[in-house]
Amino acid sequence: MNTLNETHDPCLRSWVSSAQDERSDFPIQNLPYAVFRPRTSGQAWRGGVAIGDEVLDLAALAHAQLIQASDPLAPAALNAAAQETLNEFMALGPAHWGALRRALSRLLRWGAAEKDALQQCLVPQAQVEYRVPARVGDYTDFYTSVHHATNVGRLFRPDSPLPPNYKWMPIGYHGRVSSLLISETEVRRPRGQLMPPGAPGPTLAACKRLDYELELGVFIGPGNELGQAINLDEAEAHVFGLCLLNDWSARDIQVWEYQPLGPFLSKNFATSLSPWVVTMEALAPYRLPFTRPSQDPQPLPYLDSPTHRTQGSIDIQLEVRLQTLAMRQAGQPAAPMSQSNYRHAYWTLAQMVTHHAASGCNLQPGDLLGTGTQSGPEPGEGGALIELTLGGQQPLSLPCGERRTFLEDGDTVALRAWCERPGAARLGFGVCEGQVLPASP
């Protein structure tokens, strides 16, 4: 796991003035990665780093040759990060990632001699477009929030909400890569088989109970060979970073199809990602101990270690906001739906990666894992509408006077996340946003 170094110093300031705004997600202590190009330019996609409200164009930086070979790993890391996907950079591993982070931090600090030349490599974020930052070979979605699993389980199995294996291993299923969408891509309401209560048989129809799911996305760095497991204390060396993830869910399709093999059409139509990937090194100041209630089964040895107990969790605050079409037309801002924190996750990043590879499954650079919906222990901390409305039984009231049980056409869902604590710089993840369109005719 990453330790604190010069790049985490909360006193660091950047010559990019917008990075000093206390509301900015992207101070110099963050430096997340994305793949971008100037909007509507038709130019080649390339890697970029967020600093304030600017994007540092890594291809332009590589061409300018401003990173010297005083750290021999940094130039190679820069060339890999400047490509049209981040896969090559993700594959290099923590030593290269750390070398480039140090080099970028030094170039962007107040007083850097390279300021004038580096300014030519900045592009305003308002003028760019993004795409999914890696070529994702495989996508696995987990179910790591015991609060979400319990809340949803109570709706369908009141006497036994959790499956018997839940507290013994991280549960997951393989998702659909082709429908991974970058933030701001519109999401069309899906169709599937619906089985209304009391009906003699199912019908093919548009989903009526469309939901969001507040998750984190986990991008894999270096992979493992087929047949080779990953040790728990080495697992995070295989994790490049985190983004926001909205696993859109058709609840009425899901309830009819999920037995015996799990979700299918209810999940495969869209999964939205935020463009910025916050590195594990940037998150080092926000580590927390991993704990498990003493009355619960403790993890099996391959999912446990003293180091992991000390700092296996991460303090990441999470939020969902909703803006209806009527709110948007009236100029009203999005309304907060819920807040939670990733520290409540029952299974950690390292445990997800270790269990995924325990069978010998070969993870690859750019593979994506989802954490599953992140809900907190309190009633208002549900990460999905199915929890907040008790399966649609208790509609939520919005500031404009509208009510929601599930999403309606025209609704826009925005996920946000940030980290802050005394003695560390606040950093954020940007936004993961999507608007619901009507089902296709």
Q: What DSSP letter does each residue of 71-100 carry, written as one string?
A: STHHHHHHHHHTSSSSHHHHHH-HHHHHHH
Q: First and final CA of the chain: distance in angstroms?
A: 50
Catalytic residue among 96, 147, 148, 356: 148
| Structure tokens belonging to residue 186 | 């519109």
Residue for token digits 């926000």?
Answer: 286
Secondary structure (3-state) at 414:
strand
The CA distance from 108 to 119, in Å, is: 10
* Amino acid type, 325: L
DSSP annotation of 336 reads E
Q: Which residue type occupies 227?
A: G
Q: Distance between CA 431 and CA 434 in Å, rounded? A: 10
Q: Which pair of structure tokens corresponds to residue 285?
A: 């100041």
Residue spans of alpha helices (H) in 157-201: none
CA distances to 227, 256, 370 from 172, rounded to whole Å, are 19, 19, 9
254 to 131, 154, 193, 210, 288: CA distances (angstroms): 28, 16, 9, 10, 35
Compute how many other C-beta atoms are within 10 angstroms of the C-beta atom of residue 265. 17
Residues composing the chain: 441
Task: Kindly list the distances between the CA atom of residue 227 and the CA atoms of 117, 231, 302, 352, 407, in Å, as whole numbers in the listed order.
Answer: 48, 13, 16, 17, 43
Catalytic residue flag (residue 356): no
**What is the rounded CA–CA span in Å between residue 70 and residue 274?**
34
Residues assigned a catalytic role: 148
